[in-house]
Amino acid sequence: LAKTTQPISMDSYEGQEVNITCSHNNIATNDYITWYQQFPSQGPRFIIQGYKTKVTNEVASLFIPADRKSSTLSLPRVSLSDTAVYYCLVGDRPSGTYKYIFGTGTRLKVLA
Amino acid sequence: GAGVSQSPRYKVAKRGQDVALRCDPISGHVSLFWYQQALGQGPEFLTYFQNEAQLDKSGLPSDRFFAERPEGSVSTLKIQRTQQEDSAVYLCASSPRGQEADTQYFGPGTRLTVL
């Protein structure tokens, strides 16, 4: 069974860049890596998705090394409203299923 | 357009009751997923549909859990004889084509509390 791990929590100050890493050692060849943000009492909200190297959109960047066994979500210049739990999501195709595995989640707290 | 919707948003059941949770995916989305999220934990996969076909139910915790998507759109997750350990948020997600590159879009979830 694939295991996907993240740091439990991180603190940052407003305006700083935050990097959150996810380890996904058993990622399959065809699987993509997706990151979500979740606020209390809400469903996960899509942030960014990538397959390899670097992807950037208007809110974040995603760095994926060549071996794809990890990925790093980068949030530039965080604000108080970025306080949330962040999850990576990868497929579990090596086990022959359509299953997806969420990371353990990183609770980000942004301080003023 | 409208996102994924789920109903009810909150459900309280007495132990032993049956419950049915509804998911309305984004119109036209082929894939539909159900996840269970216990308090303070990450979501855990329950089951996957591609159109009306349930292709993976490996995450369903017991035979008390049953899901269906008879016409390939709306899905219902049914839990029979609820137990206290079933208390969790049940999340539904849909994606466009059923491919690895697809993004899953999540609903707000149904919070089930079993007393």
Encode burial over B67-87: b for 16+ CB neighbours within 10 A, e otherwise: bebeeebebebebeebeeebb
A31 touches chain B (CB under 8 A): yes
- Inform me whether the pLDDT recorded for B1 exceeds 60: no
Residue with tokens 């036209």: B28
What's the pLDDT band for A87 if we cut at 50, 70, 90? very high
- Report which secondary-structure segment, H or E, holds A47: strand A45-50
Nearest by CB to B100, which of A30, A36, A87? A30
- Inform me whether the pLDDT recorded for A64 exceeds 80: yes
In tens, the pLDDT along B37-55 reads 999 999 999 999 999 999 9
CA-CA distance, B34 to A87, in Å (whole number)? Answer: 17
Flag if A44 and B91 touch (Cβ within 8 Å). Answer: yes
CA-CA distance, B35 to A99, in Å (whole number)? Answer: 10
Which residues from A are below 8 Å from B109, CB to CB? 41-43
Return the DSSP state at B16.
T
Handedness of CA B56, B61, B66, B69 (dihedral sign): negative
